Amino acid sequence: MAERYEIFLGSNRQYYFRLVAPNNEIVLQSEGYTSYQSAENGVHSCRLHSPYDNNYRRLISSASHPYFTLVASNGKTIGVSETYSSNQARENGISSVKRYGPRANVIRKAS
């Protein structure tokens, strides 16, 4: 299956989006939004900002695992990755978001 953004309603009644790679791995997950339209706006922001390396923050979790965030030009976090086993795996995740983020289609998932 091709890369895609999935917008879905969480159990807390907030909307989220996630970027899913062709191998069905989730490479980026958003914060919660109060409306579907806001989640769509988040996807738009992800498409706009994902190609540029300066929009990625490379971080380490409290359990010492690498992960990254994608941020907008105003510094607001657009999405967060999973945690990775190595810095190289994190870089591969960033490469996936750069590759798929600008062009992935949006699918509305049933809640």
Using one digit for the tens of pLDDT, what is the confidence trace for 87-96? 999 999 999 9
- In order of their start, the domains of the chain are 4-108 (2.30.29.80)
Dump strand ranges (E) for 1-111. Answer: 4-9, 15-20, 26-29, 56-60, 66-71, 77-80, 105-108
The pLDDT tens digits of the residues spanning 66-86 come to: 999 999 999 999 999 999 999
Alpha-carbon gap, residue 93 to 12, rounded angstroms: 27
pLDDT value, residue 111: 57
pTM: 0.93
Exposed/middle/buried for 48, CB within 10 Å: 0-12, 13-18, 19+?
A: middle
The pLDDT tens digits of the residues spanning 40-69 come to: 999 999 999 999 999 999 999 999 999 999
pLDDT value, residue 109: 84
Taking a C-beta distance cutoff of 8 angstroms, is the pair 7, 106 a contact? yes
pLDDT value, residue 42: 97
